[in-house]
A and B are shown apart, each in its own frame.
Chain A
Amino acid sequence: QKEVEQDPGPLSVPEGAIVSLNCTYSNSAFQYFMWYRQYSRKGPELLMYTYSSGNKEDGRFTAQVDKSSKYISLFIRDSQPSDSATYLCAMSRRDDKIIFGKGTRLHILP
């Protein structure tokens, strides 16, 4: 079983819809949970990070962590064509390297 599992997609949704992106993980020692957005041929951009369980909101983006289920989610409200990108989940223990998911390709259809 891989440490971090993420469905590669592609995921296509109509503009304005709520997008749900998810990852599961196996290592219960992970403490930090991150979401990166990567546009084609660009570097990843840190969207949000969460420490331990709970929710975090930033504008149209909400990150959720459920450590009991080893499951994290990113919700995008009122999705826009400019949200079309690859979304990478990532996680780490303190003082340790980041483990990335494979990324989910998201297409927002105008």
Chain B
Amino acid sequence: DTEVTQTPKHLVMGMTNKKSLKCEQHMGHRAMYWYKQKAKKPPELMFVYSYEKLSINESVPSRFSPECPNSSLLNLHLHALQPEDSALYLCASSPSTGRGSHEQYFGPGTRLTVT
């Protein structure tokens, strides 16, 4: 089973709201990723967790705060977002950040609209 699940599917939030995106995988993968994708663009890497520790932060603004409570779960906490942050937020997992980092499996994404 190569399934990564994400909730919610859609989210509309105001610029003063706080919300969280959730991601779950049960493939035993030890690396998890957050990507942001704008329309007609490729995914852009935001964060990488390896063995539940943050290993890469691609200079993402602090209004995005990732969290990895355990090896199967990944959250992205959102606060004081801007309208330009509206996008499809994708979670992915891979067997590792070493040899397996190229083999990434994506979830369906959360479509976020900031009003």
Which residue numbers of A lie inside 8 Å of B, CB to CB?
8, 32, 34, 36, 41-46, 49, 88, 90, 92, 94-98, 100-103
| A18 to B17 CA separation, bound complex (whole angstroms) | 49
Which residues of B sit under 8 angstroms from A42, Cβ to Cβ?
Answer: 108-109
The binding surface of chain B is classed by DSSP as: loop
Which residues of B sit under 8 angstroms from A97, Cβ to Cβ?
Answer: 45, 48, 56, 101
Query: By the criterion CB–CB under 8 Å, are A95 and B41 in contact?
Result: no
Query: By the criterion CB–CB under 8 Å, are A101 and B108 in contact?
Result: no
Query: What are some 15 contacts across the A-B interface (CB < 8 A)?
Result: A8-B40, A34-B103, A36-B106, A41-B88, A43-B6, A43-B108, A44-B43, A44-B90, A44-B106, A46-B104, A49-B102, A49-B103, A94-B101, A100-B43, A103-B40
Neighbour of A95 across the interface among B97, B104, B107, B109, CB < 8 A: B97
Closest A residue to B41 by CB, please name it. Answer: A102
Neighbour of A34 across the interface among B6, B88, B98, B102, CB < 8 A: B102
Query: By the criterion CB–CB under 8 Å, are B102 and A98 in contact?
Result: yes
Query: By the criterion CB–CB under 8 Å, are A32 and B90 in contact?
Result: no
Interface: B105 (CB within 8 A): yes
Which residues of B sit under 8 angstroms from A32, Cβ to Cβ?
Answer: 102
Min CB gap B20→A, angstroms: 18
